[in-house]
Amino acid sequence: MSPILDNHLHLNPVNGRGAAAAEEFARAGGTHLLVVNKPSWSLVGEVDDEAGFRETFDLTVEVTRAASETLPGRAWPVLGVHPALVSRLVDRGYTPEGARDLMQAGLDVAGEYVADGPALAIKSGRPHYDVDEGVWEASNAVMRHAFAVGAEVGCPVQLHTEAGDDFGTVAEWAEAAGLPAGQVVKHYAERPITGPVASVIGRKEGLRAAAESNDPFLMETDFIDDPDRPGAVLGPKTVPRRVNWLREEGYDAAVRRAHVETPAAVYGIDTEGTLADA
């Protein structure tokens, strides 16, 4: 068995399938998962302090441990603050600056979970929809703070951002904060990109483009584990199925790049060794 990693998947232990979705991934041939916490409001409701973030993160760590038990490899938590929280906070009466401060505090808490052991990386970003200038500035400040936290605790940062191909400026911000651009991952990349490492959503066109490039890349489903939207964005079986398709198309080297070499380079994880030890 060769490693198959889904780089960005959500498991909802409150009202979703939770670890059962990881079992489905494993039955399809998957071996490793990076489990990103659901937005705080999806798990614990509205958050106004660090305690709400800790509750969100603890639920995610717990379901990730349960998922690990179902896999031939293992799962790791990725913890952070969803960039859309800024809009929810502003709608509730926060100023953009107040929302920024609370979200940055949440990222500090996520950094603690990395420093203390259970989490592998943190998540941040900026809204993928139109916002006013004040919210945009606050969101960029939150993202730049995430880079500083990642640099301080020595971990990668996954980004949820708008669509696009060129994130060179974002990579420069990370480098300025002391975080190498090679440890910044653009979640939901639709094709190879400039700047961060692309985590390519599991659709054939984008995966073929990534496979034919010489760039490091990862694969993901962004499965959201929402009982009202089963299978959204892509189902847990998708990455294993796309790996089989890539191999049939002759992209064996690209499969190894996405599931062994890039995870090692970005996260420092050994997907082959953890599979052998399972």
Q: What is the pLDDT of residues 90-133, one digit of tens each?
A: 999 999 999 999 999 999 999 999 999 999 999 999 999 999 99
Query: Closest Cα partner for 161 from 153, 152, 169?
Result: 169
Tell me how far the alpha carbon of residue 105 is from its chain's centroid.
19
Q: Sheet with 157-160: list strands edge to edge.
A: 5-9, 32-36, 75-80, 121-125, 157-160, 184-189, 197-201, 217-220
pLDDT band (50, 70, 90) for residue 16: very high
- Give the bridge partners for 174, in sequence order: none
Q: Angle at CA 247, nearest 5°, toward 244 and 253?
A: 130
pLDDT at 276: 62
pTM of the full predicted structure? 0.96
pLDDT at 231: 79
Torsion (CA) 7, 179, 166, 249 in degrees, nearest 10: -30
Query: Closest Cα partner for 215 from 248, 178, 245, 171?
Result: 171
Mean pLDDT of 168-189: 98
Mean of per-residue pLDDT scores for the chain:
97
pLDDT at 192: 97
Task: Write the CATH number for 18.
Answer: 3.20.20.140
Structural domain for 169, as ranges: 5-277
pLDDT at 271: 98
Q: Looking at the 3D structure of the chain, how many domains does it have?
A: 1
DSSP letter for 257, please. Answer: I
pLDDT at 278: 47
pLDDT at 277: 53
Provide φ and ψ at 79, rounded to 5°.
-120, 140
